[in-house]
Amino acid sequence: MSVWALTGIPEIQPGDDLVEVILAALERDPDEPLEDGDILVITSKILSKAEGRIVEAEDREEAIRKETVRVVATRPREGGGATMIVENRLGIIGAAAGVDASNTAEGTVLLLPVDPDGSARQIAERMRAALGVEIGIIVSDTLGRPWREGQTDVAIGAAGVHVFEDYAGKTDAAGRPLAVTMPCLADELAGATDLVKRKSTGNPVAVVRGLGHIVGGLDLPGAAAILRPAERDFFRLGTDLAFEQGFDAGVASVRGAGGSSAGGSGTGDSGSGGSDATTPGAQNAEDETS
């Protein structure tokens, strides 16, 4: 597999046609032209800029609120303000709803693209037609993770690429089913290109060659397929917020039920935590405390 950053992508302005910009850069690029099976990973930032998703920096907090559909966790930040982990409009869970204050024009912040999967599909469609080669498109963004310091680039948009290598039905070398193993190729692709993009700044597009076996039709699921529904997630709510909601439910259970068993009331009060995303785990209590 070879991975290289596409050079000569100019500063993107609102209204720019990214496909034309990338095609022009490809013509000027010293590397060979794109081939069947190549995958282009595009930093979401330039897609946002082309879409004119720029707002005044003073409106950053308001912009974050507008992009937020659900607060997952928050904690006061050293030096004031609060770090907010939220689920944004696209269903992506991350800090500040993806509102980006770095590498934007002074006094402005950048919102995530309107529809990264849709844009990826359009870009793939037009570039496949223009170049006559079957390429895949990934739109990448930088996300932090629980439990691990630092950030990695992941896929927030995809088209013409298998975002997962689905092992369902397959077996390991010893014949055991590998159903639970489902590597997220799209996220690994985004991270891989981040390594070359940051070698020289200002290279928001990178090419991955040698993985033609994971490139396919434009009807393949996009990056939205990577997003796990909150109700299926063990960490749909931050620890502090979940504890607070549990605390309130516990107090209510005693007061409301005149001191009846916490466990029973806990089950009954499951919905009273105040967040639709919270389905407190009374039925999981035994497992959790074992």
* Closest CB to its own copies among residues 98, 273: 273
CA pseudo-torsion sign 144, 148, 149, 152: negative
Three-state SS annotation for 246-268: HHHHHHHHHHHCCCCCHHHHHHH
Interface with its own copies includes 153 (CB under 8 A)? yes
| Residues 160 to 219 in contact with its own copies, rule: CB under 8 A | 164-165, 172-174, 176, 178, 181-185, 187-189, 191-192, 194-196, 198-199, 201-202, 210-211, 213
Cβ-count burial of 60 within 10 angstroms (0-12 exposed, 13-18 middle, 19+ buried)?
middle
* Closest CB to its own copies among residues 20, 231: 231
Q: Minimum distance from CB of 172 to its own copies (Å)? A: 4
Candidate list 4, 8, 126, 216; residue touching its own copies; CB under 8 A: 4
Interface with its own copies includes 69 (CB under 8 A)? no
CA pseudo-torsion sign 99, 105, 106, 108: negative
Beta bridge partners of 41: 138, 206
Q: Minimum distance from CB of 95 to its own copies (Å)? A: 9
Parallel/antiparallel/unpaired status of strands 108-110 and 93-95: unpaired
Interface with its own copies includes 145 (CB under 8 A)? yes
> Residue 137 has which token pair?
């498109």
Pairwise CA distance, residues 176 & 281, whole Å: 32
> Residue 215 has which token pair?
């490139």
From residue 242 to residue 281, what is the string marking binding to its own copies with x (rule CB under 8 A)? xxxxxxxxxxxxxx---x--x--xx--x---xx---xxxx
Pairwise CA distance, residues 198 & 188, whole Å: 16
Interface with its own copies includes 147 (CB under 8 A)? yes
Q: Minimum distance from CB of 23 to its own copies (Å)? A: 23
Q: Taking contact as CB under 8 A, which single stretch among the options 28-36, 72-80, 112-120, 130-138 is the one that binds its own copies?
A: 72-80
Residue 51 CB coordination number (10 Å): 20
| Residues 12 to 51 in contact with its own copies, rule: CB under 8 A | none
Interface with its own copies includes 287 (CB under 8 A)? yes
| Residues 78 to 97 in contact with its own copies, rule: CB under 8 A | 82, 84-85, 93
Q: Taking contact as CB under 8 A, which single stretch among the options 2-10, 28-36, 43-51, 129-137 is the one that binds its own copies?
A: 2-10
Q: Minimum distance from CB of 126 to its own copies (Å)? A: 26
Pairwise CA distance, residues 142 & 151, whole Å: 6
How long a stretch of residues is the chain?
Answer: 290
- Residues touching its own copies, count (CB under 8 A): 103
Candidate list 34, 63, 73, 86; residue touching its own copies; CB under 8 A: 73
H/E element holding 4? strand 2-5
